[in-house]
Amino acid sequence: MAMELAALCTDPVVLSAAFLCLLLHLSLRSYRPPSPGGGRRLPPGPPGLPVLGALPLVGPAPHAGLASLARKYGPVMYLKMGTCGVVVASSPCAARSFLKALDARFANRPAVASAVDITYNYQNMVFANYGARWKLMRKLASVHLLGARALADWAAVRRDEARRLLRGVAEASAAGRPVVIPEVLVCALANIVGQITVSKRVFDVQGDESNSYKDMIVSLLTGAGLFNISDFVPALAWLDLQGVQAKLRRIHDQFDVLITKLLADHAATAADRARAGRTDFVDRLRAAVGVDDEDGETISEVNIKGLIFDMFTAGTDTSSIIVEWAMAEMMKNPAVMARAQEEMDRVVGRGRRLEESDIASLPYLQAVCKEAMRLHPSTPLSLPHFSFDECDVDGYRVPANTRLLINIYAIGRDPSAWEDPLEFRPERFMPGGAAERVDPLGNYFELIPFGAGRRICAGKLAGMVFVQYFLGTLLHSFDWRLPDGEGKVDMSETFGLALPKAVPLRALVTPRLAPAAYA
């Protein structure tokens, strides 16, 4: 009898049946009859499947899958995903309803299994719940790192890294080697983040070490953006059915080794910085550890690690992604590239390289950046918002404990907001264009690549500077063409928290400035 029982316990059919019974039990346990709402109804949405609800309906590219569902069910859509209620906003008006009128209610983040390890148990700024601790971290980051004054203070660092990037690209050109655009960009941006946070360049040159770092960031953001069953059916999180948590844990361990070493090196050089009268972001964070702010809140050493994690992940790959997509679109549309270069030749000339101060006089370059952010937002779906309270939105009842996703990708391609939305047309943002006054900083809900409201990306100003300056620098300094034998630009995507090109953009370059500009 014991042997027969053991055989049954290992039989795959029996195990599958037991697993399905468990899922059915969880589904029935999670069911709640609609609460009486005086005739008020939930937003429309697909009926879904038992247990998993609408999860299988979103497909492998949820930003596109949800956009397709919204075309059928409307811009405010409610889906049952596993045991969780999710409302999706897919138009500018719908986003405004949530992120302006109901901003405070949806300022929290849901607790999701995918984020536990990579955020030091939600101790970073991006995934922390709304409250005094989050406000303190946000204030410290804005004042000392990401605000307009702090960005001006670190302009020389960006200038030096742009010079190093140009030198490396020029060397590749002289050797006849293709340039892999995201690789050179991530190296430069990581070095900028390293210098302003811990006073250290992370990589001496772009190569295997910086490329491995880039791959680690891409894997982390891809894994963290997956629609993980564990996040929507918490009772199954311990099974890690898709292996997402194990993968993210491994990547986080690698990242933590890097951050721990950077912080140890930083502590070892504290006396040198003190003698030189220099302070960086971590110096200012350490000064705030254990010190109560006006709300009686403090930050911890773990919060410092979380903040450094935020800066390296959000501050490198996301900006690189926008620049890469912009370059890809211009290589598909040579007339756009030619117009951008002509503008820079007229304003800057070819005797020197572009400076950040030139950007204000380059409206077409700015328009190219906006159009890339519209058509290829680095974050296609907003990080999930969460409301503990029931509320009304556009005549619908949204239950308590509902997650909110803003489909930034769908909003940027909404035909009711944009003429010919699938075309790359920077002219729409130029004087006289339909979107002349639209900016991407959260004021116009037609274009919200950084989000909007209280949880808008704290690095929006830095992101704009990085994208405009480095895209302009690459365009102004070189002519770009596909390597021989590559007939067209691959425009496929890889979905995650970010939306990089599936095939990194490679190009052969030819210098177009005076030789002294590359020194």
Place of tokens 């195990």: 15
457 marked as part of a ligand binding site: yes
**3-class state of residue 34 by DSSP:** coil
CA atoms within 13 A on the CB side of 242: 16
418: left (phi over 0), alpha (psi -120 to 50) or beta: beta
The C-alpha torsion from 400 through 403 and 406 to 410, rounded to 10°, is -110
Cβ atoms of 454 and 351 closer than 8 Å: no
Cβ atoms of 433 and 427 closer than 8 Å: yes
Cα dist. 127→107, 225, 498 in Å? 11, 13, 15
Residue 201 class from Cβ within 10 Å (0-12 exposed, 13-18 middle, 19+ buried)?
middle
The C-alpha torsion from 349 through 353 and 354 to 355, rounded to 10°, is -130
Q: Answer positive or negative: Cα dihedral of 45, 47, 52, 54.
A: negative
**Helix, strand, coil tally for the chain in percent (to 5):** 55, 10, 35
Nearest of 325, 256, 329 to residue 498 by alpha carbon: 325
Pairing of the two strands 402-406 and 84-89: parallel
- Beta-carbon neighbour count of residue 363 at 10 Å? 16
**3-class state of residue 165 by DSSP:** helix
What is d(CA 447, CA 440) in angstroms, rounded to the nearest whole number?
5
What is d(CA 317, CA 392) in angstroms, rounded to the nearest whole number?
37
327 phi and psi, to 5 degrees? -65, -40
Residues in the chain: 519
CA atoms within 13 A on the CB side of 467: 30
DSSP state of 99: I
Binding site membership: which residues? 457
Binding site membership for heme: which residues? 457
